[in-house]
Structure formats: C-alpha cells, structure tokens
Amino acid sequence: MFPEYEQLFTDTFGKSSTEVLINYILFEEFLEVDTSKLANRLQEASNGRFGDYRALQKAKQIKESA
C-alpha cells in the first residue's frame, strides 16, 4: 500500500476500501489495473452508492495517488 491511500476514503477499513485492498495490495498493482475495472469493483463494493461517475473519479484518484 502507499501512504496517500488513507486519505482517499473517509473510512479506510470500510466496505469499499476493504474490497479494493483485498484485490490490490501493492501500489504497483493499482498502477497496472484498468481504471474502469477498479471503478467497477468500487461500484460493486458500495452496492451502487458510489455511482458510475463517482466510482470512476475515485478509481482515477487512487491510480494518481499510487
């Protein structure tokens, strides 16, 4: 993981963040994953609360921070 990750979610160990961390541990993995795939994972983990646009923006933010 990388230090900036903690600032990307209001609850680092919430459902969405935990789902992401289960699948991607190292910052290199965040760089390699397709942005839309990461956004879909966020969307699924949040039970649709993120919404398509917000999930995509969060995925981009995660990748930029990595």
pLDDT per residue as tens digits for the range 4-23: 888 888 888 899 999 888 98
> Structurally, how many domains does the chain consist of?
1
Mean pLDDT across the stretch 19-30?
A: 86
d(CA 44, CA 26): 21
DSSP 47: T
Mean pLDDT across the stretch 29-40?
A: 92
Q: Which residue range(s) make up the domain with 13?
A: 3-65
Mean pLDDT across the stretch 41-52?
A: 90
d(CA 37, CA 29): 12
What is the reported pLDDT for 36? Answer: 95
Q: Is the pLDDT of residue 26 over 80?
A: yes
Q: What is the pTM of this model?
A: 0.83
